[in-house]
Structure 1
Amino acid sequence: MNSPPLTDLSDRAREIFRLVVEGYLDSGIPVGSKTLAGEGGLNLSPASIRNVLADLETRGLLSAPHTSAGRMPTETGLRLFVDAMMQVAEPTREERAAIEQRLSEPGPIERALEETSALLSDLSGAAGMVMVPRREPRLAQVSLTPLDASRVLAVLVGEDGHVENRILPLPAEALRSSLEQVSNYLTARAAGRTLAEAAHLVESEIASGKSALDEASRDLVRRGIATWTEDAANRPVLIVRGQANLLDESALADIDRVRSLLDDLENKQSVSELLERARQAEAMRIFIGSENRLFSLSGSSVIAAPYRDREGKVVGVLGVIGPTRLNYARVVPMVDFTARSLGKRIG
Structure 2
Amino acid sequence: MPSPPISELTDRARDIFRLVVEDYLASGQPVGSKALAAQGGLNLSSASIRSVLSELEQLGLLAAPHTSAGRMPTESGLRLFVDGIMQVAEPSAAERAAIERQLAEPGPVETALENTSALLSDISGAAGMVMVPRREPTLSQMRIVPLDEMRALAVLVGEDGQVENRVLDLGTAPSPAALQEASNFISAHLAGRTLAEAASAMQREIASGKSALDTASAALVEAGIAVWSQDADKRPVLIVRGQANLLDEAALTDIERVRSLLEDLESKQSVAELLESAREAKSARIFIGAENRLFALSGSSVVAAPYRDREGKVVGVLGVIGPTRLNYARVVPIVDFTARSLGKRIG
Task: Compute the TM-score of the two structures, normalised by the length of structure 2.
Answer: 0.92
Aligned to 1:272: 272
1:203: Cα distance to partner? 3.0
Distance 1:254 1:171 in 2: 54
Aligned to 1:33: 33
Instruction: Between 312-321 and 208-217, report the one with greater CA deviation.
Output: 208-217
Aligned to 1:90: 90
> Unaligned 5+ residue runs, structure 2?
none
1:146: Cα distance to partner? 5.7
The answer to whether the 8 Å contact 1:32/1:71 transfers is: yes
% of aligned pairs identical? 74
Q: What are the equivalent positions in structure 2 for 1:9-158 lying under 5 Å apart?
A: 9-66=9-66, 69-144=69-144, 152-158=152-158
1:278: Cα distance to partner? 0.7
3-state SS of paired residue (2:250): helix
Distance 2:192 2:246 in 1: 45
Aligned to 1:327: 327
> Unaligned 5+ residue runs, structure 1?
none
The answer to whether the 8 Å contact 1:88/1:330 transfers is: yes
Distance 1:271 1:180 in 2: 44
3-state SS of paired residue (1:48): helix
1:129: Cα distance to partner? 0.3
1:165: Cα distance to partner? 3.2
Matched, 1:259 2:259: yes
Aligned to 2:292: 292
The answer to whether the 8 Å contact 1:173/1:216 transfers is: no
The answer to whether the 8 Å contact 1:138/1:158 transfers is: yes
Q: What are the equivalent positions in structure 2 for 1:243-254 lying under 5 Å apart?
A: 243-254=243-254
Aligned to 2:196: 196
Distance 2:138 2:340 in 1: 25
What per-residue deviation string (whole Å, max 9, x for no partner) do you get for residues 161-202 of structure 1?
A: 654333446786534344443233223334454433433343
1:43: Cα distance to partner? 1.1
1:141: Cα distance to partner? 3.4
Q: RMSD across aligned C-alpha pairs, in angstroms?
A: 2.3
Instruction: Between 281-290 and 327-336, report the one with greater CA deviation.
Output: 281-290
1:137: Cα distance to partner? 4.3
What per-residue deviation string (whole Å, max 9, x for no partner) do you get for residues 14-68 of structure 1?
A: 1101110011111111111111111242111111111111111111111111285
Distance 2:2 2:160 in 1: 43
For these two proteins, the number of residue pairs brought into alignment is 347
The answer to whether the 8 Å contact 1:309/1:315 transfers is: yes
The answer to whether the 8 Å contact 1:3/1:79 transfers is: no
The answer to whether the 8 Å contact 1:20/1:73 transfers is: yes
Equivalent residue letter for 2:126: A
Instruction: Between 1-10 and 282-291, report the one with greater CA deviation.
Output: 1-10
The answer to whether the 8 Å contact 2:260/2:298 transfers is: yes
The answer to whether the 8 Å contact 1:171/1:216 transfers is: no
Distance 1:260 1:35 in 2: 32
3-state SS of paired residue (1:128): strand
What per-residue deviation string (whole Å, max 9, x for no partner) do you get for residues 195-252 of structure 1?
A: 3343334334334433221222112111111111011111121001111111111111
